[in-house]
Structure 1
Amino acid sequence: MKEVLVTIQSVYQYLEKLGPKKSFQILKSLGYEKLLSLTGKVPKERLIVLTQKLSENTVVELVNQIPERILVEMIRENTDEDLVYFIHSLPMEDLAAVTRSIPPADVRLLAEALGKETSVEILKTLGVPKSIALLKEISMKDFLWLVQECGVPPVLQLVNEMSVADCKKFIKVRGIEELPVILKFFSVDHSLAIFKKLGMGKALELLHLLGTKEMLELSHLISTMNLDSKNIPEQIHHRRSSKSTGTKSKSDPSKNLPKKKSKKQVKKKY
């Protein structure tokens, strides 16, 4: 009973800090039970700061569209500044999708490593559905390692132009460690050109056949040659050799001679 009274007191202190107009609008839209449950799980001071920086409609939409368990975890894992920036920068539908699919702790890692502005830029550039799909195939720590090795713009360009299926196939077959090696040697534009020309399946087969180092060495060797694309034929005809088709068999002349008619023997009568 004591805990309930303390929680109710926290609700009223929370509403009092917001001012009568804003607190009445939020209480009316959310209902007392939702507000009571939320204030019992999140520090009152944090709720006050967040609600003061957001409009009444945004607060109501946030509570209604994001499950309470996830919302509480979001507030615990991320700073007020980052949360407010994410909420203001992303449509509520996208924000709800991100919170349901990407753990709040991973969002915090992304914001801490790259900053809130770059984090939002990544989500917007790739699109929320593709970002979510990719982060199901690669952990946030591995993604941040890749960005650290290659830089944000190259990784964004690569992932933006490749399909999720091709990204998944490359990571599964070759591992994420080879991507920085290939990107640094060929550049993003040339790497994409190779993948598009061969298709991801054949590109992976070539890497498997030659090995990554040998493929890079061969590519460098070819790049030093003075080659003319005009000499590439439109079609290459393969010559077939066969003993049976090499020489025509000579016909037996006797087979062409007309057959002699056999003479019938007539018995003479004596």
Structure 2
Amino acid sequence: MKEVLVTIQSVYQYLEKLGPKKSFQILKNLGYEKLLSLTGKVPKERLIVLTQKLSEDTVVELVNQIPERVLVEMIKENSDDDLVYFIHSLPMSDLALVARSIPPSDVSALAKSQGKETSVEILKTLGIEKSVALLKEINMKDFLWLIKETNVPSILKLVSTLTVADCKKWIKTRGIEELPVFLNYFGVDNTLSIFHKLGLQKALDLLHLLGTREMLELSLLISNMHLDPKKLPDLHWLQDKLEKTPKGASKTKSRKQAAKKKTKKVVKKK
């Protein structure tokens, strides 16, 4: 009973700090039970600071769209300034999706590592759904390692250009350790050019065939060759010839030639 009275007292102290108009709107739209539950799980001082920096409509929308358990964790893991910036910078539907899909501790780690402005830029550039999908394939710790080993613009350009399926295929086949090697050696534009020319699967096949070191050395060797693009041969005639040749025709021809030689040998013996 004592705990209930203390919580009720906290609610009224919380509402009193907000002023009559704002507190009435919040109480009217949220209901006493929701407010009572929230003030029992979040320090009153933090709720007051956050609510003072947000409009009553935003507060109501925040509480109604984000599950209480997640909202409490968001407030616990992130600073007031970061939370307010995220809330003001992202549409509420996007913010709710991030809150439900990405652990608040990961969002906090991203903000502490890159700053709140860059964190929002990353989410907006990639798109919320794509960000959520990618962070299911690679944890936040590894993502921050990638950024540290390269830079934010390169990672954003690479991931924005590739599909989620492409990213998943690369991660499953090669992991992430080689990505900084390629991005720092080739640059993001040249890396994307290779993927565009070969297709991701052929690029992966080539890597598997040559190995990372050999592919880098071969690229360097080719880049130092003085080649005339005017002398690039047109090989369409060869491709057309290969496509016109019936499958197994060459094998059949070889077998017939071998059979003829064998027959000649038998005749000579007679």
Instruction: Return the TM-score normalized by structure 2.
Output: 0.88
Matched, 1:85 2:88: no
Give the drift of 1:199. Answer: 1.0
Divergent runs of 4+, >6 A: 238-241
Q: Per the alignment, in what secondary structure is the counterpart of residue 232 of structure 1?
A: coil
The one-character-per-residue Cα deviations of 1:141-168 (angstroms, maximum 9, x if unpaired) are 0000000011011001000101111111
By how many angstroms is 1:185 displaced? Answer: 1.2
Distance in 2 (alpha carbons) for counterparts of 1:232 and 1:67:
63
Question: What SS class does the counterpart of residue 227 from structure 1 fall into?
Answer: coil
Aligned equivalents of 2:163, 2:85: Cα separation in 1: 29
Map 1:140-179; keep pairs closer than 5 Å. 140-179=140-179
Q: Which has the larger radius of gyration?
A: 1
How far residue 232 of structure 1 moved from its aligned partner, in angstroms, is: 3.0
Between the two proteins, the alignment pairs up a number of residues equal to 247
The alpha-carbon deviation at position 233 of structure 1 amounts to 1.1
The reply on whether 1:45 has 2:20 as its aligned counterpart is: no
TM-score (norm 1): 0.88
Encode CA deviations 1:182-233: one digit per residue, 9 max, x unaligned. Answer: 1111110010011111111111000000000000000111111112233231
Counterpart of 1:11 in structure 2: which amino acid? V
The one-letter code matched in structure 2 to 1:218 is L
User: What does 1:224-239 align with in structure 2 at a 5 Å threshold?
Assistant: 224-230=224-230, 231-235=232-236, 237=238
Partner of 2:25 in structure 1? 25
Give yes or no for the alignment of 1:57 onto 2:57. Answer: yes
Identity of aligned residues (%): 74
1:116-265 equivalence runs, <5 A: 116-230=116-230, 231-235=232-236, 237=238
- Cα offset, 1:105, TM superposition: 0.1
Q: State the 1:244 CA deviation.
A: 8.1
Higher helix residue share: 2
> Letter of the aligned partner of 1:224 in structure 2?
N
Alignment partners' CA distance in 2, 1:71 and 1:236: 65
Aligned to 2:264: none
Q: Which moved more, 1:223-232 or 1:94-103?
A: 223-232
Root-mean-square deviation over aligned CA pairs: 1.7
Structure 1 distance, partners of 2:237, 2:53, is 68
Matched letter for residue 178 of structure 1:
E
Query: 2:254 & 2:205 partners in 1: Cα distance?
Result: 35
Q: Secondary structure at the match of 1:41?
A: coil
In structure 1, stretches of 5+ residues that fail to align are 250-270
Which whole-Å CA distance do the structure 2 matches of 1:26 and 1:160 have between them? 40
State how far apart, in whole Å, the 1-side matches of 2:255 and 2:18 are. Answer: 96
Per the TM alignment, residue 236 of structure 1 is displaced from its structure 2 partner at its CA by: 5.1
- Write the distance in 2 (CA, Å) between the matches of 1:193 and 1:97: 33
Q: Counterparts of 1:201 and 1:236 in 2: how far apart (Å)? A: 26
- Segments of structure 2 that go 5 or more residues without pairing to the other structure are 261-270
- State the distance in 1 between where 2:180 and 2:234 align: 34
> What's the CA shift for 1:102?
0.2
Bigger shift: residues 100-109 or 192-201: 192-201
Moved more, 114-123 or 191-200: 191-200
- Distance in 2 between the 1:77 and 1:32 partners? 26
User: 1: CA distance between counterparts of 2:88 and 2:255?
Assistant: 79
1:110 positional shift? 0.1
